[in-house]
Structure 1
């Protein structure tokens, strides 16, 4: 049986965009949210507006359209929310890729899909508005979670609805609708939803890293972004 990576690579010509990007004029800026980033003080992380200003300043300074990064990144920024804390071990390992961009930035479906589920996960630090689409490519079934969207992105959705490749499916939400984060897309691939609807962990305990990374392949297989 083909691996997920092999299936995507053999169908690469059919994979469409997730966000608008002009390779001649636009660029992605890798953003580091580990302990190595000493610029992000508690004062900044505790204030969503200051955090947003920090991201925007980085993008402007580097003439970048989007910030990018996060897959398999051990992030200290989740200390800003008790949502990621557990009694025995906090969740800090990021399982998706984040694309940091302005409120209202369009988000697109990269391949024919059906709506698996959707929800408003409105805890502080959570996904906020969330859409999960189900895909099948050459018999390989998987899902993609799109988080931190605008509330109106849920209009007209119903479970099982067909979403064609290339369709605009959402826009990025403001802090009030995206879990109180600077505006960005959390994009995560998930092979087995484990019976969940409208939600799936986007951050796991480091001790469970291998289990979750095995179920959540690198989204760069779809995004085709070079992080170096």
Structure 2
């Protein structure tokens, strides 16, 4: 069984990673790539403008949660030196996780049993902000889930090595003042091999790195089954 098939086998249906009162019918896909002409009217350097865009998008579509972004190329990272290597060719702008956009303080839930691998407040402008990484062992297979853009309080409740269970509240979403300066959302990422990282793992890569990172970071929807 390949890794994607293994992940798919771990959940039989929609598995929430935020507030369980939201059901699949409350979710809608949002396109944040340059191909979305609606973003031409949005100041992508402003967390407040992006938050307003998302609120209007949800209201117009009568939905409560926006999701998307796996392997999506985005211009939003152009505002931060954190994603630049000094070359436009080598700029990190391909997103490796799934973003789930909803209000600050929304609960973040565990989709599977595990234990706390590491925690860190990644404070660079445009970075994850408060981040939790959970280690999972299923059927003798070890892998990891990353939760970025959390509240500061989320980091205060957990210690490395502590066991956590499916459906348990891990923390809550932070706002732009603490989450790397983004509209409130969860960055959720699957990781096969942490490669000695702790409290952090690349969530955005260059085109040249895409083959490696897309192999090590499978599509989160394989597990969550939102669509």
TM-score normalised by the shorter chain: which range applies? over 0.9
Distance in 1 of aligned mates of 2:73 and 2:143: 24
Q: 1:119 to 1:42 in 2, by over 3 A?
A: farther
Q: How does 1:24-35 map to 2 (within 5 A)?
A: 26-35=25-34
Q: Deviations over 1:197-218 (max 9, x none)?
A: 0100000001111100000011
Q: Deviations over 1:57-98 (max 9, x none)?
A: 101111111111000111121112121111231001100000
Distance in 2 of aligned mates of 1:43 and 1:218: 27
TM-score, scaled to structure 1: 0.93
Counterpart in the other structure of 1:117:
118
Counterpart in the other structure of 1:36:
35
Q: RMSD of the TM alignment (CA)?
A: 1.7
Counterpart in the other structure of 1:221:
222
Question: How far did 1:22 drift?
Answer: 4.3
Distance in 2 of aligned mates of 1:171 and 1:27: 19
Indicate the SS of the match to 1:73. Answer: coil
Indicate the SS of the match to 1:179. Answer: coil
How many correspondences in the alignment? 224
Residue segments in structure 1 that go unaligned for 5+ positions in a row: none
Counterpart in the other structure of 1:55:
54
TM-score, scaled to structure 2: 0.93
Indicate the SS of the match to 2:37. Answer: coil
Distance in 2 of aligned mates of 1:90 and 1:140: 33
Question: How far did 1:40 drift?
Answer: 2.2
Contact 2:42 2:53 in 1 (8 A): no
Q: Deviations over 1:138-182 (max 9, x none)?
A: 111100000000000011311111111111001000101100000
